[in-house]
Chains A and B, each alone.
Chain A
Amino acid sequence: EVQLLESGGGLVQPGGSLTLSCEASGFAFSNYGVSWVRQAPGQGLEWVSSISGNGVTTYYADSVKGRFTISRDNSKNTVFLQMNSLRGGDTAVYYCAKDLFGLAGRFDYWGQGTLVNVFS
C-alpha cells in the first residue's frame, strides 16, 4: 500500500524558514518523482515543486522560485521542502504527492498534508 506522510509544518513568522519532510512507503521510491502541492485556506490546489526519482531534475512554481528548495534522500525514502523567506501568502496545507510515473506532473497518491501558518 502506497503511503506518504508529511511532517514539519507549524507556525512561523514572516521571513522565517521551515523544512517539510515527506516519508514514503509502498512503492519503488527512487523510480518516481515526488511533488509538493499546497492549498491555502478555502482555496484551490497550487503546484509548488517537483523532483525526479534520482534527484537530478527539479521544477518550481514562479511563486516560490528562489525561496524554496526541494531535495530527496532515496536511502530514507524521504523528500524535503526547504522553505525560506516565508510570506503570509505561503500559509497553506502542504501535500506531498507521488507522480503518476517518472516525473509526470500528475499525481496518483497524496499524503494527508501538513499545515504551514505564516503569521506576524
Chain B
Amino acid sequence: QPALTQPASVSGSLGQSITISCTGTSNDVGGYNFVSWYQQFPGKAPKLVISDVSNRPSGVSSRFSGSKSGNTASLTITGLKAEDEADYYCNSYAGNTNFAVFGGGTRLTVL
C-alpha cells in the first residue's frame, strides 16, 4: 500500500489543464517542503519534473507546476499535449523513520 495517495487516473483534452493530487500525512508531505514529481513513460526510467514542491528543473516545460497545501501536494499541467500522456508519481522525504515515500502513481490520458 503506497504511503501517499494519488488518483489512479486523470484525463484531459488537448490544450486543457489538469491537476494531480498527492495526499500524505504530517510525517511526510505536510511536514516538509520536500515533495517531488516524476514523469514515466512505459518501459522507461522516471524523470524528475518538479522538485521541492514547486521547483522546475532545467529543461522541463513551464507548463508543469507544483504546489502544496497542508498534507496534499498537487501537480498541474497546463496546455495539455499528446506527449504529456504518461504515468506521474509523487514522492516525499519522510524523515529518519521512513526516509522516502512514493504515491501509487497516476495515469494521465490526453484525449
Contacts and interface: CB of A to CB of B under 8 A. Distances in A.
Interface of A: 35, 37, 44-47, 50, 59, 61, 95, 100, 104-113
Contacts of B101: 47
A105 to B, nearest CB: 4
Interface string B77-111: 00000000000010111101011111111000000
Given A35-B100, A47-B102, A59-B99, A104 B93 contact: yes
Nearest to B47: A110
A36 B83 CA distance: 27
A107 B45 contact: no
Interface in B42-91: 44-48, 51-52, 57, 89, 91
B33 to A, nearest CB: 11
Q: Which residue among B34, B94, B100, B105 has the maximum number of chain A CB atoms within 10 Å of its CB?
A: B100
B23 interface: no
Interface residues of B, number: 28
Contacts of B103: 44
A109 B94 CA distance: 20
A105 B89 contact: no
A27 to B, nearest CB: 14
Given A44-B2, A45-B105, A105 B45 contact: no
Contacts of A109: 48
Contacts of A113: 45
Contacts of B2: 44, 46
A45 B46 contact: yes
A3 to B, nearest CB: 12
B100 A95 contact: no
